[in-house]
Chains A and B, each alone.
Chain A
Amino acid sequence: VEFTKVAADPSIVNLGQGLPDISPPTYVKEELAKAAAVDRLNQYTRGFGHPSLVKALSEVYQRVCGRKIDPLTDILVTVGAYGSLFSTIQALIEEGDEVIIIEPFYDCYEPMVRMAGAKPVFIPLRYKNDGETASSADWVLDPAELANKFNSKTKAIILNTPHNPLGKVFTREELQVIADLCIKHDTLCISDEVYEWLVYKGKKHIKIATLPGMWERTITIGSAGKTYSVTGWKLGWSIGPQNLIKHLQVVHQNTLYTCPTPLQEALAQAFWTDYKRMDDPECYFYSLSRELETKRDRMAQLLQEAGLKPVIPDGGYFMIVDVSTLNVGLSEGDEKQPYDYKFVKWMITSKKLSAIPLSAFCGPETKRQFEKYIRFCFIKKDSTLDAAEVILKNWNKQTA
């Protein structure tokens, strides 16, 4: 909320908040126009999810997961993936519970866990490479450290893959380590997979729910906003076994009851279009990923040429950058503020370029570890990246 205000200024090149400035695909907008023209689609639909949408979701995810998914009992449609996180946590987490959160983390996980009365237990991803160009794959969990975080109070672990802000795509082996611990301690897994289609060459998105013993204890969360570049539609979903989803449904029916109808209908039609071409490279799930890979590579190059050290993401549309080497004189701001906050404020004011400080994604213990990084969003149209290029090319001239 804090940083959105600052970057609302149109003279600033906004690579901060994670929202596309590229257009959603035309057919998606057309489906919405069609849906809105049907009278009854402007009135309430089924609370737990518009029938045609849950049907489409079940088909797509049945194919991806290789298991039967019942559209009525195994799926809940929510107000964005955010709403799914909220429904899941309110449904299954309470006072006395501990929830493991991997740092850095999408910032809402912590307050949501606290709002449910539970205790967040943090574990950081640690950098394990001494090479020149860092990759998100170089950031890993220490298995022994992770195992130590599990105890009899651990109700759930929140997994985010592809990861925001790092862009890490957890490997099968890494997921297996987590899965083994979940099974051993009878822990739930809340798997935030909103960037599931945005995985770059050589990497594969694996759903932890497909690992043995995991379906029955995992809620997998997805997002229309990230899938179709329509963050303003605020539609997401939770998929899992009936005995867990039914509790999410109870939360949903007592919080907002239904999600908007025309948007759900349009989304259903968009999903059918892409479901039918899931074997075709032109499927939006793959074409968007290819488009973003080019932007990722361009962004990385620009940053490197400006003397910054980007961490190349394997997935997602964010890139973190080590800015400590610049050692920009930041006498402004108070001492207690982390370096990255000061850096970003300075960068916005003097360079007219915005990003998000990485310590915003950390628990209190780890802020110092991550304060030399800032996060850029690269799901931006060419003209935005052109403007960023101009700033970055002139960067050293002005700072010298």
Chain B
Amino acid sequence: QTHFLFLSLQAKMSRPVQARRLEGIDKNIWVEFVKLAATYSTVNLGQGFPDFPPPDFLKEAFLRALSEENHMLHQYTRAFGHPPLVKILAQFFGKLLGRELDPMTNVMVTVGAYQALFCCFQAFVDEGDEVIIIEPFFDCYEPMVKMAGGTTVFVPLRPRAPKDGKLMSSADWQLDPAELASKFSERTKAIVLNSPNNPLGKVFSQGELELIAELCVKHDVLCFSDEVYEWLVYDGKEHIRIATLQGMWDRTVVIGSAGKTFSATGWKVGWTVGPNRLLQHLRTVHQNSAYHCATLAQEAVAQGFQRELMLYGKPDSYFVQLPKELQKKRDWLVQSLDAAGMKPIVPEGTYFLVADISKFKSDVPDVPSSDEPYDSRFAKWMVKNKGLAAIPLSAFYSGAHKNNYNHFIRFCFAKEEATLKAANDILQKWKQEKTSP
């Protein structure tokens, strides 16, 4: 008996202790780049978060909630979402989506939009399922599909040369309709849409969304619509919600984020909106993974939305003021980068901007034998030697495609004027160093 025990122990010990679902998803670009920024950067335009505070009305709401006589806001609330929050979200998004929403069945609160995405992949993606991801993409989509046992299918946005003399816009990066159509198969379970898009800042047009919608309907495919930057659209552009297109409500999960909406990324409050036939499965995943979300922040976000509902469309609305502020910052950084010789792609939305660093390649020689994409080495060199942190665009591409667009880096411009000025100083100095003999 001891002999058999010994053999079975040997077998056990030779197997890795971790589950197979972790295969290929252990690397994470942020762990590395956040550390680098923390260590070396004097100006951090890398990770996507504002360096300005959330609006006063939101901070005040949080303070009120935590110091209430009735301290029960420090205890568990409803697992699928704090009642005041789901109620206002149902009201607010009901208006935007043009339909009556039930707060209990059409809305679920999550720990950031990140966890909303996780619930979608876990709820709907199985082994054998394919999920279409548009490149470049917010990097977590790929490992989440893998963890759920699914297969990723990538389709790129392709840049078209801008009209003479103009700066490239995120609108110039487009899907090839035939190429997109070819990616749909009978195994396709879902497509992930991110509009406004991180990292490019692209705001998908009505035409582009209709193209995607038609294919979803034709192939009976779900749409996970990551709309966390929904309020950050510039130049009078409109954020169009794919769930409002024909045949889409019933197959779409809309994802939103308080962190991006209210400049409070550290609160980790997100939500999903969709038909009950889909949300019921998100609820199952949620109740078996996180269960409850923290109460206080939900209470404060609910109050934030109450205010915004009253001020909707008015100049005082945070959803009007924030994009106005950020557009100025966008234009400032665009100018800065252009003057320095980096070629910015002007984003239509989000608080990210991608720039072509080809002119600076001489500073960081190519190493053909290196596994690491060029832009990653460039970004690391830049933060260590110039103190300016940014994220390489290859971080937002699948393994096989990381070298397709490897001379771009992404900047976050949700930063105070002083930060952007400091960035400008670094860029101008760097340019001067290059041009002076």
Interchain nearest-CB distance for B105 vs A (Å): 14
Assembly CA distance A233 to B291 (angstroms)? 12
Contact-residue bracket for chain B: 35 or more
Residue of B nearest to A48 (CB): B31
Interchain nearest-CB distance for B51 vs A (Å): 7
- Residue pair B62, A36 in contact (C-beta under 8 Å): yes
Partner of A116, one of B17, B19, B263, B297: B19
The 8 A CB mask of A231-261 against B (1 = contact, 0 = none) is 1111100000001100100110111111111
**Contacts A186-B12, A232-B295, A256-B114 hold; do A43 and B266 have CB atoms under 8 A apart?**
yes
A41 adjacent to chain B (CB < 8 Å): yes
- Residue pair A42, B11 in contact (C-beta under 8 Å): no
B175 adjacent to chain A (CB < 8 Å): no
A80 adjacent to chain B (CB < 8 Å): yes
- Residue pair A79, B28 in contact (C-beta under 8 Å): no
Assembly CA distance A115 to B19 (angstroms)? 13
**Contacts A37-B59, A80-B292, A232-B74 hold; do A251 and B266 have CB atoms under 8 A apart?**
no
Contacts of B5 in A (CB 8 A): 184-185
B287 adjacent to chain A (CB < 8 Å): yes
Query: How many pairs, one residue from A and one from B, have CB atoms within 8 Å of each other in the complex?
Result: 183
Contacts of A255 in B (CB 8 A): 114-115, 118, 289
Interchain nearest-CB distance for A184 vs B (Å): 7
Partner of B66, one of A1, A33, A225: A33
- Residue pair A188, B17 in contact (C-beta under 8 Å): yes
- Residue pair A247, B49 in contact (C-beta under 8 Å): no
Residue of A nearest to B66 (CB): A32
Contacts of B288 in A (CB 8 A): 86, 108, 111-112, 115
B106-148 CB contacts (< 8 Å) to partner A: 111-112, 114-115, 118, 140, 143-144, 147
Contacts of A186 in B (CB 8 A): 9, 12-13
- Residue pair A257, B112 in contact (C-beta under 8 Å): yes
**Contacts A79-B290, A247-B22 hold; do A39 and B112 have CB atoms under 8 A apart?**
no
Contacts of A47 in B (CB 8 A): 30-31, 34
- Residue pair B76, A231 in contact (C-beta under 8 Å): yes
- Residue pair A41, B266 in contact (C-beta under 8 Å): yes
- Residue pair A42, B54 in contact (C-beta under 8 Å): yes
Interchain nearest-CB distance for A322 vs B (Å): 28
**Contacts A42-B54, A232-B73 hold; do A251 and B22 have CB atoms under 8 A apart?**
yes
Partner of B49, one of A43, A46, A90: A43
- Residue pair B266, A230 in contact (C-beta under 8 Å): no
- Residue pair B265, A253 in contact (C-beta under 8 Å): no
A155-192 CB contacts (< 8 Å) to partner B: 184-186, 188
Contacts of A112 in B (CB 8 A): 288
- Residue pair A256, B75 in contact (C-beta under 8 Å): no
- Residue pair A86, B66 in contact (C-beta under 8 Å): no
A205-249 CB contacts (< 8 Å) to partner B: 225, 229-235, 243-244, 247
> In the complex, which of the residues B17, B31, B47, B73 has the most CB atoms of chain A within 10 Å of its own CB atom?
B17
A21 adjacent to chain B (CB < 8 Å): yes
B163 adjacent to chain A (CB < 8 Å): no
B75-90 CB contacts (< 8 Å) to partner A: 75-79
Assembly CA distance A43 to B297 (angstroms)? 13
A23 adjacent to chain B (CB < 8 Å): yes
Interchain nearest-CB distance for A76 vs B (Å): 13
- Flag the segment in A58-66, A91-99, A133-141, A275-283 that touches B: A91-99
The 8 A CB mask of B13-52 against A (1 = contact, 0 = none) is 1000111111001101011001000000000000101111
B267 adjacent to chain A (CB < 8 Å): yes
- Residue pair A44, B63 in contact (C-beta under 8 Å): no
> In the complex, which of the residues B76, B112, B147, B266 has the most CB atoms of chain A within 10 Å of its own CB atom?
B266
Contacts of A261 in B (CB 8 A): 266-267
Interchain nearest-CB distance for B46 vs A (Å): 11
Contacts of B66 in A (CB 8 A): 29, 32-33, 36
- Residue pair A83, B290 in contact (C-beta under 8 Å): yes
A82 adjacent to chain B (CB < 8 Å): yes
Partner of B28, one of A44, A86, A253: A253
**Contacts A1-B287, A23-B71 hold; do A260 and B268 have CB atoms under 8 A apart?**
yes
**Contacts A42-B53, A255-B118 hold; do A232 and B20 have CB atoms under 8 A apart?**
no
B293 adjacent to chain A (CB < 8 Å): yes
Contacts of A19 in B (CB 8 A): 75-76
Residue of A nearest to B283 (CB): A1
Contacts of B140 in A (CB 8 A): 254, 257
Partner of A91, one of B19, B31, B72, B297: B19
B67 adjacent to chain A (CB < 8 Å): yes
Contacts of A44 in B (CB 8 A): 47, 49, 265-266
A68 adjacent to chain B (CB < 8 Å): no
Interchain nearest-CB distance for A300 vs B (Å): 24
- Residue pair A230, B291 in contact (C-beta under 8 Å): no
Contacts of B47 in A (CB 8 A): 44
- Residue pair B18, A247 in contact (C-beta under 8 Å): yes
Interchain nearest-CB distance for A349 vs B (Å): 22
**Contacts A91-B22, A254-B118 hold; do A83 and B9 have CB atoms under 8 A apart?**
no
Assembly CA distance A188 to B50 (angstroms)? 42
The 8 A CB mask of A1-21 against B (1 = contact, 0 = none) is 100100000000000010111
B321 adjacent to chain A (CB < 8 Å): no
**Contacts A79-B293, A255-B115, A257-B140 hold; do A24 and B266 have CB atoms under 8 A apart?**
no
**Contacts A42-B267, A80-B292 hold; do A92 and B76 have CB atoms under 8 A apart?**
no
Contacts of B266 in A (CB 8 A): 41-45, 258, 260-262
B420 adjacent to chain A (CB < 8 Å): no
Interchain nearest-CB distance for A162 vs B (Å): 19
- Residue pair B50, A90 in contact (C-beta under 8 Å): no
**Contacts A21-B72, A94-B19 hold; do A232 and B77 have CB atoms under 8 A apart?**
yes
A152 adjacent to chain B (CB < 8 Å): yes
Interchain nearest-CB distance for A359 vs B (Å): 19
B contact residues vs A (CB 8 Å cutoff): 5, 8-9, 11-13, 17-22, 25-26, 28, 30-31, 34, 47, 49-54, 59, 62-63, 66-67, 71-79, 111-112, 114-115, 118, 140, 143-144, 147, 263-268, 287-297
The 7 closest A-B pairs by CB, nearest first: A261-B266, A152-B8, A232-B295, A94-B19, A39-B53, A247-B18, A256-B115
Excluding A47-B34, A186-B9, A232-B75, 19 further A-B contacts by CB distance (< 8 Å) are: A17-B76, A29-B74, A36-B63, A42-B263, A43-B50, A47-B31, A79-B293, A79-B294, A90-B21, A186-B12, A231-B292, A232-B72, A234-B290, A234-B294, A254-B140, A254-B144, A256-B115, A260-B266, A260-B267
A contact residues vs B (CB 8 Å cutoff): 1, 4, 17, 19-21, 23-24, 29, 32-33, 36-37, 39-47, 79-80, 82-83, 86, 90-94, 108, 111-112, 115-116, 151-152, 184-186, 188, 225, 229-235, 243-244, 247, 250-251, 253-263
Give me 16 A-to-B residue pairs in the complex whose CB atoms sit less than 8 angstroms apart, sorted by A's number: A29-B74, A33-B67, A42-B54, A44-B49, A45-B266, A83-B289, A90-B19, A115-B288, A152-B8, A231-B74, A247-B22, A254-B25, A255-B289, A256-B112, A260-B297, A261-B266
